[in-house]
Structure 1
Amino acid sequence: MDPFKLSNRQNWDQRADIHALDRTGFYAIDAFLAGEDTLYPIEKAEIGDVTGLKLAHFQCHIGVDTLCLARRGAAVTGIDFSPRAIAQAQALAGRADLAAKFVEGEVYDAPALIGNDFDVVFTSWGTICWLDDINAWAAAVAGVLKPGGRLYFADTHPAIEQHEQIEGSIRLHYDWRSAKERPERFDSATTYTGDETPLAVAYAFEWMRGVSDVIGALLKAGMRLDFLHEHELLPFKLFPMMVPAGDRLFKLPPGVPRAPLALSLQATRIR
């Protein structure tokens, strides 16, 4: 494993254990275990009926969303590169008494690891920024879907990822594309949920890319774009100035120019 992926996996292994405790309530695990559907409003409005469908959740982390989809009637398989995330997901499935399969591995290897007859691939919030090859990701999405199967994707808008809050302003700060061998390094002593537990590996690497890179990769892989939506909301505070918008979402504060913060899409495998 290359040093970027190795440090990212070590970082996410520790985050998984912290997130499973959910001391700040960011993942709403108590609400989930009480029977609440804790998918965010964006996915709830767009995912559609998954009853009876075979669904693969790419980069499933600790499995909360995977299990929400299982509760909606899907036969779910989650895949994640973090062994600690997979262990926590399996434990959560047991606590929730929900049937689910969780597999450790790179999403690039998903067709070989989980098969090629899925009706749906689901992936959301903090996913493709961790991947160094968007074309391999799209090929894996298409590779696990049967013809006519669909991808549902929601994540931070690639254009806003280039920005940072600097001296009270949102400013362009990063190139819009990262070379595979030169990702951006981000240092953080703690995870994003507000839990103050210090991270042993307190840095991670991310890859920037454009919307056209994502769409182009899916088209190249034999997918048809069904819809593409932009949203002024995110499920986390990308910038410190962001304010609560209700339903566990955040937005830019009044007086700041409006901008698309999130992007969602559906694509169908046509070949």
Structure 2
Amino acid sequence: MWQRWTPLKAASAQYDLAGFRTGGSRMRALERAEVGEVRGRSLLHLQCHVGLDTLSWARLGAQVTGVDFCAEGVATARSLAADVAPSAVFVEADVLDLPSRLDGTFDIVYTSHGVLGWLPDLYRWAEVAAHFTAPGGFVYVFESHPAAWMLDNKADRPELRLRYSYFGEEEPLAFEYRSPTAVPEAELPGWEYAWGHSLGEVVSALAAAGLRVEFLHEWPFVAWRLVPFMTQGQDGWWRLPEGLPSMPLSFSLRASKPSD
């Protein structure tokens, strides 16, 4: 499905690849502040899709490598890189098998915004992230909060209704779609499969891989409209409307590898 949908997304106004080529960055101030200065540092972006965030880090001075399992996404990222950051490297690979496809380590391993749910084995993901983190470097994750994924994503009224398990199940959830969100008029039906992971599982997986958690922050906003009645602020984040209880919608985490 990602193979079929990516060309449509890449051509959409929502992605605006032509505008991105002319300048700018998709990195929000919060992520830039928590990651810190990247100029002159090596950065590995896991599950990079079409490379917009990867190349945004490149524009901030990082030497970037992006990884994605979708050939169409990698091809789009390489095309963008030719105009934006020719030194950027993009690798087509399943993130869980990446050590067999890529050498070296990186100062920063970055992943964000709706990626962990595609992975059936979070402990293997953490091992891969730790494998590519240089001593003294760190993994940075900005992701939608597992509590937010419990909400009914088709609720038609502004009320919080729980629909999915917080802890996830052994078998993935299956979602049938008619078209990609970025191109709702398209008719390319397909199925998505996702696995739930609790916040405790994320932290425990990184700790088991030998990383030290520096901070874990929870936020009342998220990078995209998780439920239909969310509203977008001028800062670009999506929030629940006033009158509803505040709850965590995303989290950010930084975990370092000891220098010794």
- TM surpasses 0.5: yes
Cross-structure match for 1:176: 166
Corresponding position: 1:15 with 2:26: no
Give identity over the alignment, percent.
35
Q: What residue is the counterpart of 2:22 in the other structure? A: 34
- Change in Cα spacing, 1:66 to 1:245, as seen in structure 2 (3 Å) is same
2:227 is matched with which residue?
239
Amino acid corresponding to residue 210 of structure 2 in structure 1: G
CA distance in 2, matches of 1:219, 1:15: 35
State the distance in 1 between where 2:148 and 2:64 align. Answer: 31
Q: Distance in 2 between matches of 1:68 and 1:209?
A: 28
Alignment-derived partner of residue 205 in structure 1: 193
Distance in 2, Cα, partners of 1:197 & 1:67: 27
2:63 is equivalent to residue 94 of structure 1: no
1:111 Cα deviation after fit:
2.3
The amino acid of 2:175's aligned partner reads F
Deviations 1:105-152 (A, max 9, x none): 111122222223211101111110000000000000001112111111
Residue number in structure 1 paired with 2:47: 59
If the length of structure 2 is used for normalisation, what is the TM-score?
A: 0.93
Superposed CA offset, 1:33-79 (max 9, x none)? 22111213332332211111111100000000110111111111100
5+ residue gaps, structure 2, are none
2:82 alignment partner, SS class: helix
Give the Cα separation in 2 of the matches to 1:20 and 1:229. Answer: 32
Contact 1:31 1:38 in 2 (8 A): no
Structure 1 Cα separation of the partners of residues 138 and 175 of structure 2: 33
Q: Structure 1: which amino acid aligns with 2:167? A: R
Q: 3-state DSSP class of the match of 1:248?
A: coil
In 2, the alpha carbon distance for the partners of 1:31 and 1:51 equals 23
Q: Give ranges in structure 1 of 5+ residues lacking alignment.
A: 1-10
CA distance in 2, matches of 1:76, 1:97: 9
Q: Quick one: distance in 2 between partners of 1:167 and 1:91?
A: 39
| 1:167 CA drift (Å) | 4.8
Give the superposition deviation at 1:172: 1.3
What letter corresponds to residue 125 of structure 1 in structure 2?
Answer: H
| Cα separation, 2, equivalents of 1:207 and 1:63 | 23
When the two structures are aligned, how many residues end up with a matched partner? 257
Deviations 1:211-230 (A, max 9, x none): 00000000000000011111
